[in-house]
Chain A
Amino acid sequence: MNFKQAINENAQLKAMYERLVIKTSMGRDMLFNMEFSTDKDFLTKQYELTSKCQKFLSSINNNKKMLLECVLYDIHNISGSLKLIERNEILDDIGLFEIKAFCLACCELNKLLKNLDYKDFLLNEFTDIINLLDPEGNKVRQFYVYNAYDTRLSNLRSEFEKLKQTDDNQVANIYNEILEIETIVRKEICSKIRPKIAELQKAVSQIALLDISVAKAELNVLFNLTKPKINDSGITYKKIFNPIVQEHLKKHGKTFQPIDINIDNRTMLITGANMAGKTVILKTLALNQYLAQFGFFVASESADICLTEGILTSIGDNQDENQGLSSFASEILTLNNIVKQVKTKKRYLVLADELARTTNPIEGIKLLNGFITTVNLGNSFAVVTTHYSNITASCLRMRVKGFINKNLTPPVSIANLSDNIDYSLIEDTSNEIPTEALNLCRLLGVDETWLNNCN
């Protein structure tokens, strides 16, 4: 799966991408085509590039930062033009201008990045190409077929200028002659650029990588992200948080409570009252795993994670009436897909929210037990949330702590409720599940007759 497919599948990853400021079109192309990576060396390298850029950005002043931004924003992707030259086609003035501007930008970037001190970003300055495209040595960011290219041009052009004002028949001839000479000049220029195509293409990739690394570094600062460590055994986060939810809460003057989580080969079963943030935990785990394996830093104080082949989720209602599927059937098919993948013994991160919640609890518990047992046979990491009790399958039971203050007086607004919940996870040794739904209803101020009739 590449990054473009991933952001279409995961809304929170897309939200992160929307906050990532990619400045060049080649950077965007490279990022979109980046694969969900299981290559430890590749990812370590990505993290290192991001670190270097972050350190560099913090060492320069705002003016320089702006200048870097401007240079990056201005760079055109010349890959298309290079392909044309490769196919022996002749570029027009616009294409040649873009190549010249690109080479000038390379010089500028080298100057700006002098202190970055990283050889991967050291660009070729293409002095010969700049000289080729700047025969008058003006060093200006412009291009046309200069008179200096051909001694005939100057005369023909001034003659054309004079005759243009008259009705002389010669005008068309002279004009065509000028066009012919210009074409020959452009052809020569292209043939001189041709041997440099590989080097130019390399510079395009370098700039793309630089652009992505700088954008990732800026994202790190924006959300206070951290570099993950990579291991072979489990997924451990200290103070993991969800940057998107956190940003939303911040807007309303609230804070996100980070939690610690430690996932090993046992399936983790999370219980907790309604509104206790179980779904957010799953979404946060998914987002962070995506971030890490696309070479981003992650949202936690520290992270030590194991790379997976993919993230398999069953979160939210996939009910699709068009396909004639009920929410139950749709969920079961999703889960069945997950089971099939897990049975291949490849390592996945499996995240299932309130598994089998849309059917009767007696059979729901059976389905949940069966799922956990089946997933345990594979090699994957799994986190499942539930409201069901009496789960007998082998798993690590965790519970969201829940309400701190039991003596709230109803009605309490939803916003205030969240202030009274401790979202942290604790190990749960009992087989009981928290029965706080009725209490919650009371706090939300639901109809009294209804509540009284419940008991």
Chain B
Amino acid sequence: MPFISNLLNYKSISFVGMEKNAGKTEVLNYVIKRLNDYNKKIAVTSIGIDGETLDQVTQTSKPRVFMYPDSLFVTSEKLYSKKEIVSAVEDVSHYGTSLGRLITARTKSFGNVMLSGPTDTIRLKQLIDYMADKSDICLIDGALSRKSFASPSITEAMILSTGAVVSASIEKIVQKTASIYEMTKLPEYNGSIKEQLFNIKHGVFAITENNELIDLKIPSMLMLQKYKDVIFSKSKTLFVPGMITDKLLELIATQKDKNDFTLITKDFTHIFTNELNIRNFLRNGGKIQYLYKTNLLAITFNPFSPQGYILDSRQAIDKLRKKIPLPIHNIREINN
């Protein structure tokens, strides 16, 4: 398979799905298997809670991750007891997640595990650094979800999974996937106060021309309407660690002086807006910048949807390739 040899250049790779059941776990399993053929020592974890056997939303079975001997995996206490593999505990975290503390374990046989990991970016980063010391390559089962504060983009590279679950219409899938791809291409923020921003999780901040960081004391992006007089009072450059929403972009669009705003957020997974608003914002000279720039390596396509319909893979992939200059693979084919 072509893209495996590309992966060998990176110490950490995240796997992210556009929706649940877009097939990212299958891709992850495939990559683990192939890296094992290359004799690479791997370490695997996930972002946040991602380990129900049954997907709570769609009631489809959730694939487990198949591991080979002498690899590392990190999961929570609750899911560790559900493993079907012989493995030795190597570390226990001091902090807890909703599924218990995190367990780092080394596999002693073949078998399935269920993954769960840290829910915030700082701890994810620490964990990746720790795992990188003990392995050749770290694989992160990521999430494109507003429930997770952790950014999959802190990994050196990312693989995005899209598929029939996104929409029944190929046109819609191509459009949505291409839009995500465009979002990943936006630039990184490199201001002098970047270091200060990493630790901030909530609120909205203004960054002045003198690189001064001002807390606008807005507790949540969902309460924007109440604070609309405050938000643009200090600067046209805003740092939004939570998420960039339609509300925010619409508010900017209705300002008298609506041009040349700069919005900074953690990474592209923190943008939750419709395409039109974003395009409008960018057309008005707006800029979006990230603390973590994503290096998207490839896109996988899953023609099967959990609702039961199957799309024409060749047609979909052709259309995706026209819009996105990246390797695009059909996950039904990579497994063979």
Min CB–CB distance A282 → chain B (angstroms): 33
What string of 1s and 0s marks CB contacts (under 8 Å) between A159-182 and chain B? 001001000000000010000000
Which residues in window 143-165 of A have CB below 8 A to B?
Answer: 143-144, 157, 161, 164
Given A76-B94, A92-B81, A94-B80, A144:B87 Cβ within 8 A: yes
Bound-state CA distance A175–B83 (Å) is 12
Check if A143 sits within 8 Å of B110, measured CB to CB: no
Which residues in window 89-126 of B have CB below 8 A to A?
Answer: 89-92, 94, 101, 103, 106, 108-111
Contacts of A142 in B (CB 8 A): 88-90, 106
Q: Residue B86 at the A interface, CB < 8 A?
A: yes
Which residues in window 119-158 of A have CB below 8 A to B?
Answer: 141-144, 157
Contacts of A101 in B (CB 8 A): 92
Bound-state CA distance A93–B94 (Å) is 16
Check if B88 sits within 8 Å of A94, measured CB to CB: no
Given A92-B81, A142-B90, A164:B110 Cβ within 8 A: yes
Check if B109 sits within 8 Å of A157, measured CB to CB: yes
CB contact between B110 and one of A73, A97, A161, A175 (< 8 Å): that residue: A161
Check if B89 sits within 8 Å of A143, measured CB to CB: yes
Classify the interface of chain B: helix, strand, loop or mixed.
strand
Contacts of B81 in A (CB 8 A): 92
Q: Which residue of B lies closest to A98 (CB)?
A: B92
Bound-state CA distance A164–B111 (Å) is 9
Q: Residue A205 at the B interface, CB < 8 A?
A: no
Which residues in window 247-276 of B have CB below 8 A to A?
Answer: none
Check if B89 sits within 8 Å of A93, measured CB to CB: yes
Q: Residue B77 at the A interface, CB < 8 A?
A: yes
Given A144-B108, A161-B109, A164-B110, A25:B92 Cβ within 8 A: no
Contacts of B94 in A (CB 8 A): 25, 73, 76
Min CB–CB distance A411 → chain B (angstroms): 27
Q: Which residue of B lies closest to A145 (CB)?
A: B86
Which residues in window 49-85 of B have CB below 8 A to A?
Answer: 77, 80-81, 84
Min CB–CB distance A131 → chain B (angstroms): 17
CB contact between A141 and one of B77, B86, B90 (< 8 Å): that residue: B90
CB contact between A94 and one of B77, B84, B106, B108 (< 8 Å): that residue: B77
Bound-state CA distance A143–B77 (Å) is 15
Residues of B within 8 A of A (CB): 77, 80-81, 84, 86-92, 94, 101, 103, 106, 108-111
A142-B89, A144-B86 are known contacts; what are 4 more A-B pairs with Cβ within 8 Å? A94-B77, A97-B90, A97-B92, A142-B106
Closest 6 CB pairs of A and B: A97-B89, A144-B88, A142-B88, A142-B90, A93-B89, A143-B89
